[in-house]
Amino acid sequence: MILLLKKIVNTSKLLEACSTVDQLKECCRPICQHAITDAALQISGRQMMINNNENVAQEVNYTDYLNDCKGVVYSYLSKKLSFEAANTAFRILSSCKVNKVCPLTFKEPSEVIAACRNVAAPSPSCCSSLNTYIAGIQKQMLITNKQAIICASLFGSMLRVGGVMTNIYELCDVDLKDFSIQAYGQQGCLLRSLPADVVFDNSSGFSFTCDLSDNIAAPWPSSTSITSMSLCAPEMSLPALPTSQTLKNIGCNSAGVGFLVIIFSFFICSTLLY
């Protein structure tokens, strides 16, 4: 397959597209991703023609076949690019795929809607219901900072559809980190959007670095559209950086503190092929 790639793909153009991947632009205006897909399409199309000409009898799932061809392209890039360039590019491409959607599952928030529908000021019953609901979400998984933005907006849209028009995140002090797993009972941890290394130690378990661990407010959606949320939308802006007041919380500082958790079954899986 590598020989076929070299024969039919413009490898110079492929290497140019992926040698320097822009972390800020690639996810919204893909260059390297398009080059990889285009190369994989060329390889898969030519290989299927060869198989047909040779009367190779086989049932092919074209999606799986295309993914196999993408694997060939990734293999080629890993050999031709420097280790640093390939490592950076693959992490950014993985980040683009992982941070497209919210991975959390939200059950129908009927109790939250009932308690918060007509709230215009801080309400103990509304905040209690909201906190109980979010406590259930916190048991699901660690998520990245960008996933947290999407998850908060998605859940907020569900509440708006149910008639909750007031920003109850603000009324009840809900932060981005509240949508991820909590450690030591109090502190939430958001993973960085770009995949980072996880270190295993026999005594302490897996060690990784949290990001955005300060009290950055969860964004309340401006509409009821659940499908309109996109980090690539022109009008989309990330939450403001924490002020000096919010830096007084007892969580990890904004520079990123090593966050140790004994989780022997934790893996960060960012599959590039799917």
Domain count, the chain: 2
Residues 125 and 85 in one domain: no
Residues 11 and 58 in one domain: yes
pTM equals 0.74
In a domain, 249, yes or no: yes
Residues 115 and 251 in one domain: yes
* pLDDT score for 110: 96
DSSP string, 16-78: HHHHS--TTTTTTS-SHHHHHHHHHHHHHHHHHHHHHHTT------HHHHHHHHHHHHHHHHH
Residues 80 and 124 in one domain: no
Residues 254 and 135 in one domain: yes
* pLDDT score for 250: 30
Which are the contacts of 168, defined by CB distance < 8 A and separation ≥ 6? Answer: 116, 119, 126, 127, 130, 159, 174, 220
Residues 88 and 144 in one domain: no
d(CA 21, CA 121): 46
Count of positions (residues) in the chain: 274
Query: What pLDDT digit, counting tens, does each position of 49-66 carry?
Result: 666 555 554 555 677 778
For the cut 80, the answer to whether the pLDDT of residue 68 exceeds it is yes
d(CA 35, CA 14): 6
Query: What pLDDT digit, counting tens, does each position of 184-235 carry?
Result: 656 778 888 887 777 777 877 777 777 755 678 899 998 777 665 667 765 4
For the cut 90, the answer to whether the pLDDT of residue 86 exceeds it is yes
Residues 246 and 195 in one domain: yes
Pairing type for strands 187-188 and 190-191 reads: unpaired
Residues 137 and 230 in one domain: yes
In a domain, 271, yes or no: no
Query: What pLDDT digit, counting tens, does each position of 158-192 carry?
Result: 999 999 999 999 999 999 999 998 766 567 788 88
Q: What angle do CA 80, 83, 85 make, to 5 degrees?
A: 80
Residues 146 and 62 in one domain: no
Per the structure, the complete domain to which residue 25 belongs is given by 2-98
Query: What pLDDT digit, counting tens, does each position of 126-150 carry?
Result: 999 999 999 999 999 989 999 999 9
* pLDDT score for 256: 37
